[in-house]
């Protein structure tokens, strides 16, 4: 009986995770936009599952601030305000500046690391110069951009800072993605990262702050 119960709970948790990932990816792909109504029945039908795990996944996404349920109206993709976006970017800037100091003062990055970072930027440049439509460019560059920064976060070894940034991961992707839709400056968003790499390589704190700030501001132009 206990084994059956554990198996049931495991299946339910897996279904919850599938629904959470599905809704997040639909938002990032632009299939669900800010303010869109999320219907439990539609999600359940598309995934071929019952509504119970969908309901639990929606509660989880509400706790993360990604979905908002309005009494007697339904569940919607959260409409982030300008202040919400600004706060996300400001927290990111503060924490990443601290992380960059750790990387420089403790000499955390190797030549292999710099090579990997350069490779990620080149992939972004290739996407920006490709024949993909703007929507696909936004999604692909956004993912590579976050791969770049997450790699830097992890190299710092600062578990608490990384934990905070990881908890904001989806909000960061959404904020960056929405602003990229507005500005459409894909190549600049990609090549900004070369300045960050150069600053880290030269171990110049001020140059690093400037490069990171200008990179983040390039996303904020469309919103602020």
Q: pLDDT tens digits for 53-94?
A: 999 999 999 998 899 999 989 999 988 887 888 888 899 999
Task: Give the long-range contacts of residues 18-24, CB within 8 A, separation 24 or more.
Answer: 18/47, 18/49, 18/53, 19/43, 19/47, 19/49, 19/53, 19/54, 19/56, 19/57, 19/58, 20/57, 20/60, 20/61, 22/46, 22/47, 23/57, 23/58, 23/61, 23/66, 23/67, 24/61, 24/66, 24/170
In order of start, what are the domains of the chain with their CATH numbers? 2-77 (1.10.10.10), 82-220 (1.20.120.530)
- Looking at residue 38, its pLDDT comes to 95
Q: pLDDT tens digits for 119-149?
A: 999 999 999 999 998 888 888 998 999 999 9
Does residue 13 surpass a pLDDT of 50? yes
């Amino acid at each position: 009986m206990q084994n059956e119960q554990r198996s049931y709970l495991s299946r339910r948790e897996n279904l919850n995770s599938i629904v959470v990932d599905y809704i997040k990816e639909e938002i990032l792909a632009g299939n669900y936009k800010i303010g869109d109504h999320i219907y439990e029945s539609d999600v359940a039908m598309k995934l071929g599952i019952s509504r119970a795990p969908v309901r639990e996944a929606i509660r989880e996404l509400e706790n993360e601030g990604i979905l908002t349920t309005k009494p007697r109206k339904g569940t919607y993709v959260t409409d982030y305000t300008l202040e919400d976006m600004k706060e996300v970017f400001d927290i990111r800037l503060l924490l990443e500046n601290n992380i960059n100091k750790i990387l420089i003062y403790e000499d955390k990055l190797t030549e292999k690391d710099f090579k990997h970072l350069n490779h990620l930027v080149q992939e972004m440049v290739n996407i920006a110069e490709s024949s993909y439509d703007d929507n696909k460019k936004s999604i692909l560059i956004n993912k590579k951009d976050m791969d770049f920064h997450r790699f830097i976060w992890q190299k710092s070894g600062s578990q608490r800072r990384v934990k905070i940034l990881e908890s904001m991961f989806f909000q960061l992707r959404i904020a960056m993605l929405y602003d990229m839709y507005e500005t459409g400056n894909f190549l600049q968003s990609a090549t900004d990262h070369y300045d960050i790499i150069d600053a880290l390589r030269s171990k110049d704190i001020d140059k690093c702050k400037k490069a990171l700030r200008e990179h983040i501001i390039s996303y904020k132009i469309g919103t602020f």
